[in-house]
Structure 1
Amino acid sequence: MAYGRPANVRSHRRGARERRRRFAPWISVTLVCLLVAAGLGFGYQQLLAQTCSGQQTARVVASPSTAGLLSTFATDWAQREPATSEGTCARVVVTSRDSAETAAALAVGWETTGDEPPDVWVPASTAWAQRAAVTDEAEPLLPDLRPSIARSPTVIAMPEPMAIELDWPDTRLATDPGEETELNAGVRWESLLEEFSDDEQGWDRFGREEWGPFRFGMSNPARDTAGLLALTAIVDANETGETSREELEAAFNLHRLLDPELYHETTEQLLTALRSIDNGGEQAALQHISAFPALEKDVLDYNRGNPSVPLAAIYPTNGNMEADHPYLILNGEWVDEPTREVAQLFLEFVRSEEPQQTLRKAGFRGTNREAGDDFTEEYGVVPQLVALPRAVLVPDSVTLAIDRWTALARTSNVLIAFDVSGSMLLEIPGTGETRMQRAQQAAIETMRLFTEEDRVGFWEFSTALDGDRDHRSLVPLGTLGDTMEDGRTRREHIIEAAQFLEPVGDTGLYNTIQAAYDTVLGNYDPDAINMVVIITDGEDDTGGRPGISLPELLEYLDEAPGEDQEVRVINVAFGEEPNFEVLAEISDATGGEAHYSSDGFDLVELLRTAVFSVES
């Protein structure tokens, strides 16, 4: 052995050509075998991939926020040749449609749309399914099982400098500034409303007078998910499934806080307007809007656009309602078992890791609220959610929330007639106030809730106040924002008139209702809710003077309105004397409601409810 190599082992330099010739056939055979095996394997895989035949399609209607992604997922899924248990090739077709529109279509059983009904509906939130479920046509179509494919919580969006002024991301707004407790730690929807709804100083008290007044914006809850979820959190803050008087008061505060110029149909429209203002620089953006309900994804998407003033997401510690994007396989008779199987297979794919990662990159949280890489304070959001998601309101409560807001937001054409009969001087036991004083307070507080565009008139009534008439017009019916001859607005005139009412005479109730009804009918506004609001503590008593009888009044109210004209009479009664059954009969004859308080303690809240809960 030389240099450690055995003598019978030849150097690699010798006989190299001969060795290549010797082993080349074996290499060729091996390569051929490998190629044949690979070919057989590929062919077998292709055979497996093509074992399905025919086609079974499921139609998916999704909200615009997820429709594009679901369509991409459907294409990717189809390339994997999914098949049903019967071997039929599975396919999904995705169509984008607004959640509110789809809810309305399902509410009538999809009969009037002219389109094929979907097999699967993916609204932005379960709240839209609840909105549809109030009808007998839609309720059986909606499944009990409502798995989420992605989530985005509702937040209070604020320009970041303003949020930082409130100590964001550890924002605190306690309803009692002197006491920070577990109950009011953090931000609650009610605390935001109470903090700013009656605040005339705006940002001045924070030393930021350059930001101007606190301007709250919002999207239409009947149309937009963020607006709907924020409103339902407010009108059912204690999660009882009902709206208490305190919760309705919070809705009034929300309406009072809302800047009409910042009320948009959708959050997208609100953000588009903000982007345009933001192009004018930081100061313009900060003076444009102070806060608005949004989805967390909205804030993240907006900040990804690198605005001059980014937004910050404030997460309410209560009412943490989420856009949960439920995947609803409908129970329609058109959804057969093969279609249902395809829909279920696609759901399993969408909830698998790869599509879920795509959804997180797009700004959604995962099905278990998992955050994506961009969920950081740099983008105005936080990765970890503290408050647990709360349940969505029951169907009737979702409808109630929308109806209440519609009543608050719609234009009013209303004549208020105030009882100034002698009995209004009686004291309400335990209050130290007369009936007149409590009723005046209620009228004045209610006046503050109307918008500048609302049309309001104000009368007083008892007996023979103006010649033979039992009523007297103190402020004629007209737009509240109008400037009167003395330079003051109609609203200011009505508030002043309410402050200086003096009780006298009896109660010409029926005569006044007829006259007020005629006045509103003569000034009918087809684009508004038309009402007569009667505030009284007594029953009809003309003191022996002639007047219309109850049967005559009811017949008149039934026959007086013209085609497509509806004037509702809303009776608000208190005290011991009113014949409430009669008042309710009068209201019912016009499609209105009567409200009654035996002691008058809650007259302020009662009048607000009466005026601002009338559905259009």
Structure 2
Amino acid sequence: MIKMLPKRGYLLLITGFFIGLLVFAGLSRIYQGSQATFVGEKPESIELVFLYTSEKDSWIKAVKPLYEKWFYKRHGIKVNLVLYVTGTHESVDLILQGSVKPHVWSPASSIWIPFFEKKWKEMHGGETIVSEWYPLVLSPVVLVGWEDLVEKYNIKGYRDLYLLDRQGIDFKYGHPDPMLSNGGVIALLMEFCAALNKTPDRLTPNDLTSKEAIEFVKTIESHAVYYGKSTGFFGSWAADNGPEAISFFTVYENVVIENYPKAKAKWGQGIVAVYPKMGVVYSDHPLVILNASWVGVWERLAAIELLNFLLKPEIQEMAVEHGFRPVNPLVSLDGEVFGPEHGVLYKVPVLALKPPSGEVMETLFEVWVLVRNPGV
């Protein structure tokens, strides 16, 4: 009788097999020949530069010393994990400009990988820079509001914000700058989806330039009071400044979880996630191993092992504590973290939306100047 692997077990097997191949490939580049001769002398220490986005910052900082200790025990090499934190779009620009030369890069979403690869190839004669990548954690992008306002106006999505304006009801809105942050791009994307009643994968560049869509999005953006540098920074700013400063904003679900207690304690009410009826776009926070001139064989091994480490069940459980949904199928959600007492729902009640095309992404950047609040 043939035994079938359970779905969760099968996913874990595939994940483990993939990581195993990467580790084997990394070791194969370092050890050559039947006598396992080192390529160069084994270093006593190395630096691994990690460029990532701010919403993961608390998790990654908690993981850093654990990884460094684990790697030394495993390989006998001291590794210093050097952390650079910024927004997704800005991280792309930093690498393209040569301002930061990371060995590993983690944008908020894998939709940025082909965009980055395309830009790099244009600047380097078709040379590729992305080696391997794999998702680390999941987090849907949600509309967020203060509890009293969401209940009072029965906010279910971005169209409700547009209707508030049409009814003459004032409110303050905000999201990260799309030119700097993935969260800002998704916020802008979902506003256009609400305007056109289309899912992201069905949008065309012409849709985004239509008079009706521009008017709809511009109306919502006219209420913007702040465009933050990145999603993580934006959520903290909103919780610090309260409902008088901002009414509704767009961030990742984990940002709601991390800032709900602070907002509740300071303002007497929490911030709550609104999952738009049309659906949500998930950010998968991939770890990308770069194939660049500054990435040596030892840095590559450390990068592969970082990916291996971040997918371990106990490290994924730490990610859950910081409000992320795990990609390792052996790790369950914590009901005390994912629940109304942290402003979110245990089970996402809407569909997961497919991402837009690269052409639509490019057009979003172009129309942003037409719809943004020029006074912010």
**TM-score normalised according to structure 1 size:** 0.46
Aligned residue number for residue 74 of structure 1: 64
1:143 maps to which of 130, 136, 152: 130
The answer on whether the counterparts of 1:193 and 1:254 sit within 8 Å (CA) in structure 2 is no
Please tell me whether the aligned partners of residues 311 and 380 of structure 1 are also in contact (alpha carbons under 8 angstroms).
Answer: yes
Residue 159 to residue 407, structure 1, CA distance change in 2 (3 Å)? same
Separation in structure 2 between the aligned mates of residue 288 and residue 232 of structure 1, nearest angstrom: 24
* Match status 1:240 vs 2:202: yes
Residue in 2 that maps onto 1:120: 104
Letter in 2 for 1:385: V
Q: For 2:239 and 2:301, how far apart are their aligned partners in 1?
A: 44
Residue of structure 2 in register with 1:379 after alignment: 342
Q: Secondary structure at the match of 1:62?
A: strand
Asked if 2 retains the 8 angstrom alpha-carbon contact of 1:63 and 1:124, the reply is yes
Which stretches of structure 1, 4 residues or more, deviate above 6 A after TM superposition? none
CA distance in 1, matches of 2:152, 2:340: 15
Tell me which amino acid in the other structure corresponds to 1:103. Answer: V
Equivalent of 1:393, from 334, 352, 356?
Answer: 356
Give 1 or 2: higher helix fraction.
Answer: 2
CA shift for structure 1 position 246: 6.5
Kept in 1, the 8 Å contact 2:49–2:84? The answer is no
Is the aligned partner of 1:357 residue 2:343?
no
Q: Secondary structure of the equivalent of 2:250?
A: strand
1:300 maps to 2:257: yes
Q: How does 1:151-550 map to 2 (within 5 A)?
A: 151-165=138-152, 187-189=156-158, 191-200=159-168, 202=169, 213-235=170-192, 237-238=198-199, 239-240=201-202, 242-245=204-207, 248=210, 249-260=212-223, 262-266=225-229, 267=231, 271=235, 274-275=238-239, 277-278=241-242, 285=243, 288-305=245-262, 306=265, 307-367=267-327, 371-372=333-334, 373-409=336-372
Q: Contact 1:262/1:270 (CA < 8 Å) preserved in 2?
A: no
Deviation at 1:101, TM superposition (A): 2.3
- Aligned partners of 1:94 and 1:396: how far apart in 2? 34
CA distance 1:410–1:137, shift in 2 (3 Å): farther
1:97 aligns with 2:85: yes
Q: 1:197 to 1:134 in 2, by over 3 A?
A: farther
What is the CA distance between 1:119 and its match in structure 2? Answer: 1.1
Instruction: Please give the alpha-carbon distance, in whole angstroms, between the structure 2 residues aligned to 1:334 and 1:269.
Output: 30
SS in structure 2 opposite 1:382? coil
Using the TM superposition, give the Cα deviation of residue 158 of structure 1 relative to its aligned residue in structure 2, in angstroms: 1.2
Give the deviation of 1:269 after TM superposition.
6.2
* Residues 319 and 232 (structure 1), Cα distance of their counterparts in 2 relative to 1, 3 Å cut: farther
Equivalent pair of 1:58/1:93 in contact (CA under 8 Å): yes
CA distance in 1, matches of 2:246, 2:67: 43
Superposition TM-score, scaled by structure 2 size? 0.72
> Does residue 106 of structure 1 match 2:63?
no
Runs of at least 5 residues in structure 2 that lack an aligned partner in the other structure = 1-41
**In the alignment, is the contact (CA less than 8 A) between 2:313 and 2:328 conserved in 1?**
no
Other structure's SS at 2:272 match: strand
Whole-Å Cα distance in 1 between the matches of residues 359 and 117 of structure 2?
9
Moved more, 62-71 or 343-352: 62-71
Structure 2 distance, partners of 1:77, 1:261, is 40
Asked if the contact 1:242–1:397 (Cα under 8 Å) also holds between the matched residues in 2, the reply is yes
For residue 316 of structure 1, give the secondary structure of its aligned residue in structure 2: coil
Contact 1:215-1:258 within 8 A present in 2 as well: no
Return the alpha-carbon distance in structure 2 between the equivalents of residues 293 and 155 of structure 1.
6
Percent identity (aligned): 18
Distance change in 2, residues 1:164/1:142 (3 Å): farther
Q: How many residues are paired up? A: 318
When residues 100 and 93 of structure 1 are mapped into structure 2, their CA distance, relative to the original with a 3 A threshold, is same
1:58 to 33, 43, 48: 48
Shift of 1:378: 1.7
Structure 1 residue 410, shift from structure 2 partner: 7.1
Q: Distance in 1 between matches of 2:355 and 2:143?
A: 18
With over 3 angstroms needed to count, the CA separation of the structure-2 counterparts of 1:342 and 1:246, relative to structure 1, is closer
Alpha-carbon distance, 1:339 to partner: 2.7
Alignment check: 8 A CA contact 1:321 1:389 kept: yes
What runs of 5+ residues in structure 1 fail to find an aligned partner? 1-51, 172-186, 203-212, 279-284, 412-450, 454-616
Q: Deviations over 1:238-263 (max 9, x none)?
A: 31363343775334312212245613
Distance 1:243 1:53, change over 3 A: closer
| Displacement of 1:88 | 6.1
Distance 1:141 1:71 in 2: 30
Q: Is the 8 A contact 1:106 1:137 kept in 2?
A: no
Indicate the residue corresponding to 2:116 in structure 1: 132
Instruction: State the distance in 2 between where 1:165 and 1:366 align.
Output: 33
**Distance of 1:291 and 1:67 partners within structure 2:** 23
> Could you tell me how far apart the structure 2 residues matched to 1:270 and 1:66 are?
13
Q: Is the 8 A contact 2:138 2:285 kept in 1?
A: yes
Secondary structure of the residue aligned to 2:174 is strand
- Which residue of structure 2 aligns with residue 5 of structure 1? none
CA gap of 1:407–1:317, structure 2 versus 1, over 3 A, is: same
Distance 2:66 2:233 in 1: 32
- Within 2, Cα distance between the matches of 1:72 and 1:277? 26
For 1:399 and 1:246, locate their aligned partners in 2 and report how far apart those are by CA, in whole Å: 11
Contact kept, 8 Å, 1:129 with 1:142, in 2: the verdict is: no
How far off is 1:409 after superposition? 2.6
**Alpha-carbon deviations, 1:420-469, whole Å to 9, x = none?**
xxxxxxxxxxxxxxxxxxxxxxxxxxxxxxx8x9xxxxxxxxxxxxxxxx
Secondary structure at the counterpart of residue 144 of structure 2:
strand
| 1:386-421 deviation per Cα after TM superposition (whole angstroms, max 9, x unaligned) | 33433333433223212211233375xxxxxxxxxx
CA drift at 1:89: 2.8
Q: Distance in 2 between matches of 1:215 and 1:80?
A: 46
